[in-house]
Structure 1
């Protein structure tokens, strides 16, 4: 009885659970040669340095009827890890200077006799909260995740659902927008429908217990596309010059398809990957200065393929190797001669139930796409990452 009373006194909240995660790493990045842009050295290969980025998350999960969940996430991080142009950075990167902010507010609940789950995200919510496809990797780079073309669309406020059509088929849909709480210059260019936004649909086919196939489509509207859609690995410089000189801000419509799969070849080997392709259609405002060149449109593609090895050497450990091409434009027109490629290897092992260590490294060849006038040394990044969960 004394033990029971003691446990009751330690309950955080009768409807809320608190869980926390701290990620940090000793991280180093270097080049195989000096970086030259427009015949000027902008980074030297012997300037490699070590950093200590971190991210802290406090998740408060509340349930009011037993099968719903309200997640309130507080987050603080200082992990700006992209040292060189073309470096995708590590998976937990982001600024913030160590200040705690409300990073996510998401409510989900079952419907239609639990065949569906409804999602309503107020802030900090991306479509990955709704989509069912996820990679099985614990890799270091941010590239070894969902494709940015359909998985990293404008986020913040979100409404969506998952629906189990049958034992083999799954359907998911999400509408997401950036700055849903903001009233900008007017009613038409802000709020839930006027800012950057995306419609994302996913159809999943699970023919066996060991195989998952997914088809994703995302249609994204970008209010300001003067710097391109954001996910092209080498940027989108075909039109930057004329638009920047005339101070014109184009909008863009991005339509992207992704085919993805997870295949458990055996209990110790999982094959996973995706291929994505699409088009960016740039649109100028109605009134533009004379001489402004219409940027038109451009196509893009990218892919990822990797193997994950659960329980490698010891129970609870994870190993893996990932290879792929970051998303790049296919309309080179002599601007980019060589495509970038990335290799990511890692081995994650538990020290105990609370601490996991991961030595990992990734390498990016041709990170700048072979742009004329630049050299393109390979980027190498290595880290010893520690994850504390409690």
Structure 2
């Protein structure tokens, strides 16, 4: 049925009549700007008779011809309203008639291409040819307007900046407290007490904690507060995609939920969702990530506040602070994901070579935006040091997934950290090897909290290398076993004068844990029970003999009880944790839980510490 004489028009906005049935009487169309038809409108209700609109009078040849085509091929659709809303007595214009004609041309052309019923007759093709000739000017004007509109639409789509920004928020309200077990002192502090030294009590690292004061001996440890406390934390994530395959994320955070180090004397009692910025709203994270090689590779630019767990697989389903483990230590391997203790700025990249094989690496300059003192971690924006002269962490992770229910990762970390001891013995918080999850010595094996300090204006720098194994195994539909093992080597140096018998600044830090996770217990979808047994980071061995209790280092020569100490933890700390997450609905969960630390701060003489909480999380 041939010929190339049939003109095929592009997709345009069409003006049509609405109604799914023939209206009574002789209703007319309103102005053509008020309604439209698309080529795919045939899925909607069709107008089955041109008598629903009066254009060229019904007695005109053109009207009768178009009416016949519409009834035969169903090529004009409208709005199925009851009653029909277009019932005026005004004739339509030639342009409105041309719109209906164009719809029939598109419909007939589609039938010709697909060769489906109803088959187009030669007589109907002749009628369409005559109608095209009579309304050629109107059809041409319509096509020009539509082409211009298509061009403008394409330009807008190509140049639009942001498709959409989505807000994802999390609010945590928690009641929490600790048992009345006394302050967990580290080895140096316990030695001071046993030596009947006056001790000022547990305060922040670098303040008065551990200072020896001449006078009558105390010999009594401070008590820990055991009152119930309430706190909150709020996070708002603004997620924006610019291309559809990328992500720009900005996170705001505020909260007032206590760091329990101050109440217990050790980081091993910290909650996994604490936040103590006093209710101030801060920009907590900023990142931009995109993919390449059809999604096999990813790159993340870390602008602010990023940590390795923001990039790498953490090999556990209970890593979230809002719905996962209640302790800071119990969330994931701290010697891979928390080394340095400070969030940073840098870059991350990973690539999936094949299914089940992925390699990733990251570089982070720790906390580079808040410093300015040469040698501290906060010097990334100081031109004297820059991003690569501040504290930094390099992570490499090979991820393997040999089975759908089992995966593991082999990781290596190298980090450099240093701090500056100011006059009076206070130290800038530049070294935190275990990310505030282990003993005081695991934070800084050579100058921990409780040490009277190095010589004034001295600087301590440490290099830390760790090897790591993390895994996750879904042994049963309702049982997951996850865990980690990590071992690290610390090497330190200082520009302070060497003290006799101190030895080489070397130490070894270890941590390991197993997580027993039971999803959907008792048939409740979304609930979760978890038990955690682990060893928080502690200094297992050391070749450093601290001069804290000998002659020098601010302790007068000849004081009774003066001694040298090998700065290692004398007892292995043990962590027990359990919690039940009750999923109230899609947006709310309640998690009661508790954990106990034996031999806190690596000292058997410290009483066990217990922390309990009821965490309520709102996510929307």
TM-score normalised by length of structure 2? 0.57
Q: Spell out the pairing of 1:213-252 with structure 2 (5 A cutoff).
A: 213-224=408-419, 229-231=432-434, 233-236=438-441, 239-240=446-447, 241=451, 244-245=454-455, 247-252=457-462
Query: Which residue of structure 2 lines up, in the alignment, with residue 206 of structure 1?
Result: 401
Asked if 2 retains the 8 angstrom alpha-carbon contact of 1:201 and 1:217, the reply is yes
Residue 347 of structure 1: how far off its partner (Å): 0.4
1:85 aligns with 2:265: yes
Q: Which residue, 502, 509, 516 being the options, matches 1:300?
A: 509
Q: Distance in 1 between matches of 2:396 and 2:576?
A: 29
Asked if 1 retains the 8 angstrom alpha-carbon contact of 2:315 and 2:407, the reply is no
Asked if 1 retains the 8 angstrom alpha-carbon contact of 2:183 and 2:223, the reply is yes
Report SS of the residue matched to 2:172. strand
Once the two structures are overlaid, the 10-residue window that deviates more, 100-109 or 154-163, is 154-163
Return the structure number with greater helix share.
Answer: 2
Which structure exhibits the higher relative contact order, with contacts defined as CA atoms closer than 8 Å and separated by 6 or more residues?
Answer: 1
Asked if 2 retains the 8 angstrom alpha-carbon contact of 1:29 and 1:381, the reply is yes
Query: Which residue of structure 2 lines up, in the alignment, with residue 270 of structure 1?
Result: 480
Name stretches of at least 5 consecutive residues in structure 1 with no aligned partner: 2-12
C-alpha change, 1:189 and 1:133, in structure 2 (3 Å) is farther
Asked if 1 retains the 8 angstrom alpha-carbon contact of 2:163 and 2:241, the reply is no
Return the structure number with greater strand share.
Answer: 1
Report SS of the residue matched to 1:368. helix
Q: Spell out the pairing of 1:329-368 with structure 2 (5 A cutoff).
A: 329-331=539-541, 333=566, 336-368=569-601
Once the two structures are overlaid, the 10-residue window that deviates more, 177-186 or 292-301, is 177-186
Q: Spell out the pairing of 1:280-295 with structure 2 (5 A cutoff).
A: 280-285=490-495, 288-289=496-497, 291=499, 293=502
Q: Distance in 2 between matches of 1:199 and 1:189?
A: 21
C-alpha change, 1:185 and 1:229, in structure 2 (3 Å) is closer
Report SS of the residue matched to 2:364. strand
Asked if 2 retains the 8 angstrom alpha-carbon contact of 1:362 and 1:381, the reply is yes
Query: Which residue of structure 2 lines up, in the alignment, with residue 324 of structure 1?
Result: 534
Asked if 2 retains the 8 angstrom alpha-carbon contact of 1:188 and 1:194, the reply is no
Q: Distance in 2 between matches of 1:24 and 1:123?
A: 26
Name stretches of at least 5 consecutive residues in structure 2 with no aligned partner: 1-78, 80-161, 194-218, 319-323, 375-381, 421-426, 543-565
Larger radius of gyration: 2
Once the two structures are overlaid, the 10-residue window that deviates more, 378-387 or 132-141, is 132-141
Q: Spell out the pairing of 1:167-182 with structure 2 (5 A cutoff).
A: 167-181=355-369
Report SS of the residue matched to 1:92. coil
Asked if 1 retains the 8 angstrom alpha-carbon contact of 2:315 and 2:471, the reply is no
Residue 146 of structure 1: how far off its partner (Å): 2.2
Q: Distance in 2 between matches of 1:14 and 1:387?
A: 29
1:147 aligns with 2:147: no
C-alpha change, 1:190 and 1:34, in structure 2 (3 Å) is closer
Query: Which residue of structure 2 lines up, in the alignment, with residue 196 of structure 1?
Result: 391
Query: Which residue of structure 2 lines up, in the alignment, with residue 4 of structure 1?
Result: none
